[in-house]
Amino acid sequence: MGNRFMAIFRYILIGLIIFGFVAFNIRDIDEYGIILLLLFIINNNLRFFVFRNKEAFVFASLIGEIILSSILYEYYGGIALFYLIFSTLDGILFLNNKLNIIMALIIYLTVFFTSKDAGLKILTLNLGIITILLFISYYMKYEHRQKLAAEKLYYKLKLSEEELKSAKRDLEIYADSIRELTEIRERNRISREIHDSVGHSLSTIIIQLGAIEKIAKKDGKAAALMAANLREFAKKGLEEVRKAIRELKPVEMEKYEPIIALENLTRQFSKLTGVDVKLGFSKEKAALNEDQYLVVYRVVQEFLSNSVRHGKATKVNIFMNFNEEDLILTLRDNGIGADEVEKGMGLTNIWERVKELGGDIEYRTEKGKGFLLRLVLKLQKEYVGE
């Protein structure tokens, strides 16, 4: 909108210059006068529409325009002030602080020498008008800079807002995942403690009662019968504890065991090496059989080791995506990468085991762009679920 307004303003001013050139001429207009006026207009338009961002051209163009203005006014007349309005505006708007001060002084001198013969009143009026135009131009330049600064700050704040929203979403997903894993891990810990403490105690009671039963047979049938009843009671208690453990331990625990194992692996790896490892997974989970679980674990283990040893990585991202048919495991680091990769014994064994399971594994790397590895394993459909 600003450029459009300035363009319209310039066309109106050019029209006024032509009008003054024709109406207030001091001699007959010949072909030289027309050529000079056309040069004035062409130079002015090139400066504004084409080369306004090239300061050297703008300065040279303004000097040329002032010279043309002086010649036109001296030999053909017109209104001196109209010739210099363009130079005043453009000199302030398109030049830096030092050059626009120089240009302002040149314009003042030009106005003085072109108007000195017209009388003190006209000279004072022209200098006053030029001074007002200079202040207006400085104010327009200041407002334009303030607008640009405000727009820059706005887009910076907008970008920061989007980054904060993205970080908030990531934190929410991560918090939900941690909460879910913490709950599962705590329930698993409780079930394991019950099994280890109560189960062990009851098992010991059964063994001891069995021995008492044998000894009591020598002393009396009544003691043997009581011991046998106590033994049966303890066995029933043990069965009840085991039943409680099975009910406490969630059925879907087997779907989380690989994730918990990988989380423990990555946490220990980060603690020992200082590498920032982030483990993520999709909302849907699925159980892996023993072979699949072992392959996934070994792939992650080998990738982490190679990222530090060969890739010199400082960050590793791991994501487990369970869909209806596949587990897609994606691992990426920010290491130095390589144009060619030679498979060592570890990677070769993993490749072979993945192929045996009917899976697919591929990698992509490039010098200076880190390492990306992608593993796809077919899931057993009966285990798939949320």
Q: Are residues 228 and 261 in the same domain?
A: no
Tens-binned pLDDT, residue by residue, of the chain (386 aa)? 456 777 787 888 888 888 877 877 777 778 888 888 889 888 888 888 888 888 888 888 888 888 888 888 778 877 777 778 888 888 888 888 788 788 888 888 888 877 777 778 877 877 888 888 888 877 877 787 888 888 888 888 888 888 888 888 888 777 777 777 777 777 777 766 666 666 666 666 777 666 666 666 666 666 667 667 767 767 776 777 766 666 665 555 556 777 888 888 898 989 888 999 999 888 787 778 888 888 888 889 888 988 888 888 999 999 999 888 888 999 999 988 887 777 666 677 778 888 888 889 888 888 888 899 999 998 765 433 44
User: CATH number of the domain that 332 lies in?
Assistant: 3.30.565.10
Q: Are residues 103 and 25 in the same domain?
A: yes
SS3 content of the chain, % helix, strand, coil (to 5): 75, 10, 15
Q: Are residues 230 and 302 in the same domain?
A: no
> What total number of domains does the chain contain?
3
Which domain-ending residue is among 225, 248, 271?
A: 248
Q: Determine the Cα–Cα distance for residues 44 and 42; give it in Å rounded to an integer.
A: 5
HSE-up of residue 115 (Cα within 13 Å, Cβ side): 23
Residue 194 belongs to a domain = yes
Q: Are strands 326-333 and 315-322 parallel, antiparallel or unpaired?
A: antiparallel
Q: Are residues 114 and 84 in the same domain?
A: yes
Q: Are residues 26 and 51 in the same domain?
A: yes
Name the residue range of residue 90's domain. 2-118
pTM: predicted TM-score of the whole model, two decimal places:
0.40
Give the list of residues 6+ apart from residue 255 with CB closer than 8 angstroms, or none.
285, 286, 287, 383, 385
Q: Are residues 197 and 226 in the same domain?
A: yes
Q: Determine the Cα–Cα distance for residues 380 and 42; give it in Å rounded to an integer.
A: 78
Residue 166 belongs to a domain = no
Q: Are residues 264 and 377 in the same domain?
A: yes
Residue 306 belongs to a domain = yes
Residue 135 belongs to a domain = no
What one-character DSSP code corresponds to residue 379?
P
